[in-house]
């Protein structure tokens, strides 16, 4: 299966963001892509106020576009994430949607872990405007391959990915808008660790460059194999990278180095449980 990670420099210009995503997805499919993954908040990335104003429901224009293009091109499309507005909720959600080649929504994942941190002196308080999701989601691609869904900051929580693998995921998608500093120092290490620990392919498209109100994302969108080897990495600009995901290679790794099968859950106890 040929997988693609699309790298964008999204801003508050929604029309421009969607046009760029559309162009790059079509380019990727002309290169043989069967699975295409967009980055986090691909349709709008700006100030809290700009993103709240641009929030939309799952039947809004962004997912409508994703359904149309997936059906037209006959691909599995993971539409990164959007700022989702749910009627009756005060806060928005950070929501990733998997659309199948028939244009139907296969799965919806709402980011579980909120980015409430301080990085390089900048404080991020995602929970001020967003609610966390509470459901772990494994979807299925057109060929029957199971794909585990996650978003950005989730990558720092290995327990989530272990559950995805135990639920059958062989491919994990991690659309992101990693900061410049954390991309530089942590991004590749975290992605390779999640791939090695869970013996899964990882497809991780990242945002690149400046976004309002002055934040920067670090790019380096990456596809990693189950042995932890990078198969493709994006350069410093908008574009896409592709790699062939050899599922026979994955299954051979799991057969010869059966770390998932060698787990001993009964021996794993927190101190307060002993």
22 within 8 A of 47, measured Cβ to Cβ = no
Q: Which of 41, 56, 130, 152 is catalytic?
A: 152
Q: Which of 34, 40, 84, 126 is catalytic?
A: 40
Give the pair of three-digit tokens for residue 235.
Answer: 């350069």
CB 152 within 8 A of CB 111: yes
* Residue 111 annotated among the catalytic residues of the structure: yes
8-state DSSP, 177: -
Active site residue 40: yes
Burial tier of 99 (Cβ tally within 10 Å: 0-12, 13-18, 19+): buried
Check 34, 56, 84, 111 and give the catalytic one.
111
**HSE-CB for 175 with a 13 A CA cutoff:** 29
Q: With beta carbons less than 8 A apart as the criterion, state whether 113 and 138 touch.
A: no
Which active-site residues does the annotation give?
40, 111, 152
């Amino acid at each position: 299966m040929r997988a693609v990670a699309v790298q964008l420099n999204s801003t508050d210009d929604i029309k421009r963001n969607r046009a760029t995503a559309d162009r790059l997805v079509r380019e990727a499919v002309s290169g043989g892509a069967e699975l295409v993954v967009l980055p986090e908040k691909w349709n709008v990335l700006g100030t809290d106020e700009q993103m709240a104003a641009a929030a939309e429901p799952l039947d809004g224009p962004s997912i409508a576009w994703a359904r149309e293009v997936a059906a037209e091109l006959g691909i599995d499309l993971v539409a990164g994430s959007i700022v989702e507005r749910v009627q009756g909720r005060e806060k928005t959600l950070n929501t990733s949607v998997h659309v199948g080649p028939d244009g139907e929504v296969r799965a919806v994942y709402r980011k579980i872990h909120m980015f409430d941190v301080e990085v390089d002196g900048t404080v991020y308080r995602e929970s001020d405007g967003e609610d966390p999701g509470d459901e772990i989601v494994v979807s299925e691609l057109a060929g029957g391959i199971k794909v585990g869904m996650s978003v950005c900051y989730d990558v720092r929580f290995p327990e989530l990915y272990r559950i995805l693998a135990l639920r059958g995921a062989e491919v994990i998608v991690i659309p992101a808008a990693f900061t410049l500093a954390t991309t530089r120092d942590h991004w590749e290490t975290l992605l390779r660790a999640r791939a090695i620990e869970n013996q899964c392919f990882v497809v991780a498209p990242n945002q690149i460059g400046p976004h309002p109100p002055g934040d920067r994302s670090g790019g380096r969108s990456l596809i990693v194999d189950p042995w932890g080897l990078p198969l493709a990495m994006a350069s410093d600009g908008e574009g896409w990278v592709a790699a062939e995901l050899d599922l026979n290679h994955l299954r051979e790794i799991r057969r010869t180095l059966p770390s998932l099968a060698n787990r001993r859950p009964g021996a794993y106890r927190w101190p307060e449980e002993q």
